A and B are shown apart, each in its own frame.
Chain A
C-alpha cells in the first residue's frame, strides 16, 4: 500500500511554518553531502548546506531552495529547522544572478583578504536559487 511509505515532514523557519504534510521522500544537501530520506531512516541530526530541497509528495514533486539550518530525522518524522528557505515563486532571479556573478568574481580574483568560505557559500546559495527557478 502506498500509504505505508509516507512519513510526516515539517519545515519550520523562525517566522512561519514553511511546509507541513505527508511525503514519501525528501532530498536536500548537508555538510556531509546530499542525502535522500525515505521512511524508517535511522534517527539522525544533520546540518544543512545550501542546496535544493526536493519534496516528493503523493501528488508530485515540489522544489525549494534551502540555505541554512539543520534537520532532525526520526523513523516516521522529519523536522527541518531552516533559517532560510524559499519557494521558487519567492526568489528574485535577477538578484540571484547578480549574487552568483559577484561570488564568482570574488573567487576568481582571490586576494589574501578574500573570505573564500563565505564566497563559496554565497555561490552555492545563488546556484541553488537559480536552479530551483529553472
Chain B
C-alpha cells in the first residue's frame, strides 16, 4: 500500500487539475453562449443568401459559367476550420479525419488552414497553401472576405479546380457534425431545387435580375462563398466551445471520482497506521511489565 504522504500528494495534484478543468468549463460555457447567439443572429442572412442563389441557379440551369464548371487543373482546395487551442475532446481530430480518411487524394490537395491545430496535423502530409489561424479567435465578416477572395483568385487563375470547406457544424450544444462542403463549382442538389421550387415557386417565378443572370452570378457567387465561409467559422467556434465544455465536464467528473477513491485509500491507510501504532504500544507495554 502506498504511504499516506504519497496518497495525499496525489490527491492534491488531482484537486488542482480539477480546479483548472472546472474553470475551463465555465469559460467555454460563457463563450458558447456568445457563439450561439452569433450563430443565431446571422442565420437569417445565410438563409436569404442561400435562397436567392438557389433561385438564380434554378432559372439558369444550363448556363455555362466560370463558377459552375470545374477548371482544368486537378488541384482541390480545402479550407480547414479547426481551433487554435486543444483540450476540446475530439473536435479537431474529427475535422482532420474528414480529410485524411476521406476520398480526396493526398497529392492533389491544397490546404487553406484556419486554426493552428488543423495546420499542425496536416502540414506533414499535405501542402499548406495559406494560414489564417488568427481569425478563428474572433471571426468577423471581413476575415471571411479575405479568405474568399484568395481562394476565388486561385480558382480563376486555374490553380485549383474545386473548393471545399471542412468545418464542424453546430446542431445543438451536444451534437456537432464534422462536415465537408463543396463550395465551388456550385452544385445545387435536385432535392434542394425541389424544396426551393415548391415553397416559393409562385412567388419567385417572375423575379427579374438586374444586371442580367450571368453578371449577377459573377457578383453574387463570391458573396455566397464568403457567407458560407463566415457561417462555417461561426458554427465552428460554437462547436469548439461546446466540445471543450463537454470534454472539461467529463474531466471534472473523472477527477471527482479519482478524488473519492483516493480519499477512501487515504482513510484506510490512516486507520492502518493508527492500528499499527496501537499494537506496537501495547506490545511494548506488555514487554515491560
A: residues with CB less than 8 A from B are 12-17, 30-32, 42-47, 68-70, 72, 74, 79, 81, 83
Contact = CB atoms under 8 A, between A and B. Distances in A.
B41 A47 contact: no
B195 interface: no
Secondary structure of the A contact surface, majority rule: strand
A129 to B, nearest CB: 16
A45 B227 contact: no
Given A12-B48, A47-B210, 13 more contacts: A13-B45, A13-B141, A14-B42, A14-B45, A14-B227, A15-B141, A17-B44, A44-B207, A45-B207, A47-B220, A79-B48, A83-B141, A83-B145
Secondary structure of the B contact surface, majority rule: helix
B246 to A, nearest CB: 27
B56 A45 contact: yes
A12 B52 CA distance: 14
A15 B42 contact: yes
B211 interface: yes
Contact of B210 (A32, A74, A81): A32
A81 B207 contact: no
Contacts of B210: 30-32, 44-47
B37 to A, nearest CB: 10
Nearest to A80: B48
Interface string B191-231: 00000000000011011111100011001100100110010
4 A-B pairs with the lowest CB-CB distances in the bound complex, closest first: A44-B208, A14-B141, A47-B219, A43-B207
A69 B209 contact: no
Interface string B47-86: 0110010001000000000000000000000000000000
Contacts of B223: 68-70, 81, 83
A68 B149 CA distance: 15
A74 B48 CA distance: 13
Contacts of B203: 43, 74
Interface in B221-257: 223, 226-227, 230
Contact of B208 (A15, A30, A43, A83): A43
Contact of B209 (A12, A16, A44): A44
B58 to A, nearest CB: 13
Contacts of B204: 43
Q: Quick one: which of A42, A69, A79, A81 has the most chain B CB within 10 A?
A: A81
Contacts of B208: 42-45
A12 B220 contact: no
B247 to A, nearest CB: 29
12 contacts: A12-B48, A31-B215, A31-B219, A42-B208, A43-B207, A45-B207, A45-B210, A45-B216, A68-B223, A83-B141, A83-B145, A83-B223
A44 B194 CA distance: 22
A12 B141 CA distance: 13
Contact of B52 (A16, A68, A70): A70
